[in-house]
Amino acid sequence: MTKLRIAVVGVGTRETSRARGYLSTIKRLHDRWEICALCDSGDALDEIGERFGVSARFRRYSDMLDQGEPDVVFLLVPSDGQTPLALEAIDRGCHVPHGDPLCADAPNGRRRG
């Protein structure tokens, strides 16, 4: 079985990281998935990468998509910034699971398409 290559965007801070739960689950399911890349602009990127054994770490999202070659992208960034990131990943053929609403109201949702 081919493993899905998963990238996680937004590792959080050293003190509070939503990504830790995602990364722990992905690691437990290592026979199906692999973490191919992490992306964040914050200081915790290297610490989280070391903790979970992910050497491919990026500060620029487009670099992560180009070099990390993910099949799936988890966007753990604030909701108001997810739409352009999701669209770029989808345009490159990535799957983007999404649990947060893309907008606060219907008119804004129609505008975002």
pTM: 0.81
Classify domain 4-112 at the CATH class level. alpha beta
Residue 86, C-beta contacts closer than 8 angstroms, at least 6 positions apart: 73, 75, 96, 98, 102
**What's the average model confidence in pLDDT over 101-107?**
65
pLDDT confidence of residue 11: 87
- Across the chain, mean pLDDT equals 85
- The per-residue pLDDT for range 69-83, each reduced to its tens digit, is 999 999 988 877 888
- Position 108 scores a pLDDT of 63
Structural domain boundaries of the chain?
4-112
Instruction: Give the contacts of 109 (CB within 8 A, at least 6 positions apart).
Output: 102, 103
In the predicted model, is pLDDT for residue 44 greater than 60? Answer: yes
Separation CA 42–CA 59 (nearest Å):
8
Looking at residue 68, its pLDDT comes to 95
